[in-house]
Amino acid sequence: MTIDAEHIVPSPPAPLPERERGVVVGRPLTVAVVSTQRLWHGGEEQAALLARGLRQRGHRATILARRDGQFAERMAAEGFEVLRFRGSGRSPVALWQTRAMLRRVRPDVLHCNDPHAISGAGLASVGLGIGARVAMRHVCFPIRSVFRYRAFCDRVICVSHAVAEECRRSGIPPRMIRVVHGGIDPEPWQHGDRARARTGLALDDRQVILLTVAQLVECKGHACLLEAVAFVARIRPEIQMVLAGDGPLRTALEARARELGIDSRVRFLGHRRDVAELLAAADLCILPSLSEALGITLAEAMLAGCAVVTTTAGGIPDLTGDNDPQRQPVAWTVPPGDAQALAGAILQALDQPALRKDRIERARRRVLEWFTADRMVEATLSVYREILEVRGRADRTQ
């Protein structure tokens, strides 16, 4: 069900009645999931997985999202209650709309999925008696405005330890920070058809397909990747580099491929929604990131049975286990920005089929153990309950 905010009549300005927090914790929760993004990226996918998981567990997940955004459209198509506000939710009109929505929904939890959601919904929630206000951090960049997190949030959920460390460096108190790794739904990634996928790319088994799935932006490291591919192509002329994703650097990267003389070996596919099929076609999945919050695309590749070559940027070691010396490697990893090392790792992965098979199997087990959507939803619910239980104890002592 979709409801436009203009049709919501705001309640009188009195705050919502106080609740018995212990009771709230023990019953199904109402969670308002707020997104201000226009497009659908990794953060929106995680929010969708969370909302689905909450609904499956008997909780009520209500979506608050920008009117012209893909998140509102796609979640409404899945049958969620969707309330829409104008723009990024920070204008006076949008704040009024959001406050009216929150009065109507009366959530136990306000889940802000991006920074603008904190500025908008967080501010709009002041004085409404919402039991738990949570902010998500899906990126590994410094926080520009720490005040909004400290003023409008009880906890900040970070998708990796690297993101958590960036939050600490930015000034978020450690007591507010929790790490909940992003997750994936295992089902779609285990049934790709290699022959069909390669036919769709007009390639056959004589080609070695290297796949990268990422937006064409600087932090993803595509320029370094092209340098590495130019070296690899001299030794393995059968390679085809396939880039899925779009972004502002596409024209520059296409020009760079021509300069390196590898434009016939590099294919820019643009945005794709058939990533599972592309992974089935690929021999290696490469993520050359210079900065990365977690790299959930790698988890998809690991579950799809595609060997992984990546960097140690940001939260990727959480995913690959490189920060645990007791674990056997599940991928080939190199320092970010080192084209020579990246080329060497690609060649090693291609030249060692037995080792590649072993790492593929270990990678699959690691994802199923640590990075499923179910695990992410349960860990997020634990954060909600922690806040509500603390609030409930405080209420009972007053």
Q: Summarize pLDDT for 204-216 with one digit per residue, the tens.
A: 888 999 999 999 9
Question: For position 12, what pLDDT does the model report?
Answer: 34
Q: Can you tell me the mean pLDDT for 351-368?
A: 97
CATH topology for 187-370?
A: Rossmann fold (3.40.50)
State how far the Cα of 18 lies from the Cα of 41, in Å rounded to an integer.
Answer: 36
Q: Can you tell me the mean pLDDT for 325-347?
A: 96
State how far the Cα of 33 lies from the Cα of 174, in Å rounded to an integer.
Answer: 24
Question: For position 13, what pLDDT does the model report?
Answer: 35
What are the structure tokens assigned to 317, written together? 């070691």
pLDDT of residue 303 exceeding 80: yes
Question: For position 397, what pLDDT does the model report?
Answer: 66
Question: For position 26, what pLDDT does the model report?
Answer: 63
Give the number of other CB atoms < 10 A from CB of residue 167.
25
Q: Summarize pLDDT for 99-111 with one digit per residue, the tens.
A: 999 999 999 999 9
Within 8 A by CB and 6+ apart from 4, the residues are 67, 84
Q: Summarize pLDDT for 67-117 with one digit per residue, the tens.
A: 999 999 999 999 999 999 999 999 999 999 999 999 999 999 999 999 999
Question: For position 240, what pLDDT does the model report?
Answer: 97
Q: Summarize pLDDT for 243-272 with one digit per residue, the tens.
A: 999 999 999 999 999 999 999 999 999 999
Rounded mean pLDDT of the chain? 92
Question: For position 248, what pLDDT does the model report?
Answer: 97
State how far the Cα of 158 lies from the Cα of 155, in Å rounded to an integer.
Answer: 10
pLDDT of residue 364 exceeding 80: yes
Residue 129 DSSP SS3:
coil
**Pairing assessment for the beta strands 81-85 and 2-4 based on DSSP bridges:** parallel
Question: For position 325, what pLDDT does the model report?
Answer: 82
pLDDT class for 150, splitting at 50, 70, 90? very high
Sign, Cα dihedral of 17, 23, 27, 31: positive
pLDDT of residue 223 exceeding 60: yes
Question: For position 56, what pLDDT does the model report?
Answer: 97
The per-residue DSSP string of 236-298 comes to -TTEEEEEEB--TTHHHHHHHHHHTT-GGGEEEEES-S-HHHHHHH-SEEEE--SS-S--HHH
State how far the Cα of 83 lies from the Cα of 8, in Å rounded to an integer.
Answer: 9
Within 8 A by CB and 6+ apart from 364, the residues are 302, 303, 305
Nearest Cα residue to 112 out of 80, 76, 88, 142: 88
Q: Can you tell me the mean pLDDT for 119-123?
A: 95
pLDDT of residue 65 exceeding 70: yes
pLDDT of residue 23 exceeding 90: no
pLDDT of residue 5 exceeding 60: no
CA distances from 331 to 47, 212, 396 (A): 27, 15, 50
Same fold, 2-183+373-397 and 187-370: yes
Give the up-direction half-sphere exposure of residue 195: CA atoms within 13 A in the CB hemisphere: 0
Nearest Cα residue to 113 out of 73, 66, 81, 147: 66
Question: For position 394, what pLDDT does the model report?
Answer: 67
Nearest Cα residue to 66 out of 111, 104, 121: 121
Q: Can you tell me the mean pLDDT for 169-189?
A: 96
pLDDT class for 398, splitting at 50, 70, 90? low
pLDDT class for 64, splitting at 50, 70, 90? very high
User: What ranges do the domains of the chain cover?
Assistant: 2-183+373-397, 187-370
pLDDT class for 396, splitting at 50, 70, 90? low
- The CATH code belonging to domain 2-183+373-397 is 3.40.50.2000
With both helix axes pointing from N to C terminus, report the angle between 339-351 and 222-235 in degrees, rounded to the nearest 10. Answer: 50
Question: For position 192, what pLDDT does the model report?
Answer: 84
Q: Looking at this protein, which amino acid is placed at residue 306?
A: C
Helix (H) or strand (E) holding 135: strand 132-137
pLDDT class for 10, splitting at 50, 70, 90? very low
pLDDT class for 37, splitting at 50, 70, 90? very high
Question: For position 193, what pLDDT does the model report?
Answer: 87
